[in-house]
A and B are shown apart, each in its own frame.
Chain A
């Protein structure tokens, strides 16, 4: 690991200023992804700004919304009674990610901002536009079994690795951030971006912006939910494909639906058209299979990930069936 300076500000303003002043400074919270990247030589910050002294750990329910501080640990949130009662989908997705040890270290903000696990991003001997803009994408003609089937560009076909973020994408979440220009709120689905011509940019956050809170509104579709993740082993592996499904039903008719997929795109893949198509339909396997067809429109595979074209709709149907209680 390269050498770096270490500071631990106690004020939010000082933390943000430290990043504005030094273009090679970076925030650190849990460090589970950042230290891994630093050990691999993928990033080499000159200064780490430890934000753990900032008061951003609170989990509360106010104004019909669950509010979770960016520094709340993944395990704390997954076990929190308010979260389990109000947003069980989030708890399910959190427990599907990483391991007991990592969930005790990783924060909510850090989970959102984790980088891709594309093997070419991690291999500093090979070109990668995300790691080194303009160098090329090794995955395009390489081993692309884990890669995207939606929303990619010829510059990058990597996927976002977070399970938690797939649930957040489905739940109409807003993120509160603070930066040099003050605070602003961003729709969670606008936080991550597609690669386009700038795959080095994972998010729409600007320099020095810090995630403060995650706000999840109470909704009618918060209780009939399921997070389904398929991976290479039973536990502790990144998703091949995952689905977050949330439904509201009345007399067996779907009144609202929210759907997002993981492991298929550069960002958590929200399925808005599919959601609309479900409203007014009866709860049935046939309904869900029709929805899966809509969800897969526009999907295109590479040499090694064509299995996702079949796996993704199957998982979508299964997640919806479980959420609706007809699995």
Chain B
């Protein structure tokens, strides 16, 4: 994976502002864990790993252009990279979560050309030319999206890990016209698992947005 340095704005905003920027915390964790891993790895494995990298280099990098949250990105990706890994690992858009990575939990839900999909089961190369919206692209500047406001108001989360996927799915659910009753919301939100069990509050948040008639 390499990112065209001439491409548009690849720098995401910091995830939050609770003192130490997340960017720094992540980099620190990556560096320290890499050092520890290196120290514990037998030399034969290291040799094999460098061989693998040579083989990897022989594989093509495919050039694609994606519009992510309104920014145009010119990228070169290895075919096996999922949209989820591209967003999180390369573009540092870590709002989209990796839950199961097998299409079972919905934590990685993003919008592609306006439709909610699972980023973990989408290859980045297959998204060339498409418009992608992640949780980072939902708010209008400092102003939260009505669904984000509603999740806060109704306490639609506990640990928060599934929340970006829940919100992206919820917005799509309202846009699809599948949020007309509690039963319908439960059915059409069933692809988003919440292990804390915040479902009643999530349903209430979606109902409020739907019934409030605001543009989502």
Q: Which residues of A contact B (CB under 8 A)?
A: 1-6, 8, 28, 31-32, 35-36, 39-40, 48, 50, 52, 75, 98-102, 104-105, 234-236
Contacts and interface: CB of A to CB of B under 8 A. Distances in A.
Interface residues of B, number: 35
A36 B188 CA distance: 22
A234 B55 contact: no
Interface stretch (B11-19, B32-40, B76-84): B76-84
Nearest to A76: B115
Dominant secondary structure of chain A at its interface with chain B:
loop
A251 B186 CA distance: 39
Given A5-B59, A35-B82, A235-B186, A102 B191 contact: yes
A40 B101 CA distance: 10
A6 B189 CA distance: 33
Interface of B: 55-56, 59-60, 62, 78-80, 82, 101-103, 106, 109, 115-118, 121-123, 125-126, 169, 172-173, 176, 178, 186-192
B187 A235 contact: yes
Contact of A105 (B55, B117, B186): B117
B3 to A, nearest CB: 19
B117 A39 contact: no
Dominant secondary structure of chain B at its interface with chain A:
mixed
A81 to B, nearest CB: 14
Nearest to A104: B115
Nearest to B191: A99
A116 to B, nearest CB: 15
A163 to B, nearest CB: 14
B59 A31 contact: no
B121 A235 contact: no
A52 B77 CA distance: 19
Nearest to A35: B121
5 contacts: A3-B56, A4-B79, A6-B123, A35-B122, A102-B118
A165 B116 CA distance: 24
A101 B118 contact: yes
Given A4-B79, A234-B186, 19 more contacts: A2-B80, A3-B78, A4-B80, A6-B125, A31-B122, A32-B121, A35-B82, A35-B121, A48-B123, A50-B125, A100-B178, A100-B188, A101-B191, A102-B191, A104-B117, A105-B117, A234-B187, A234-B190, A235-B190
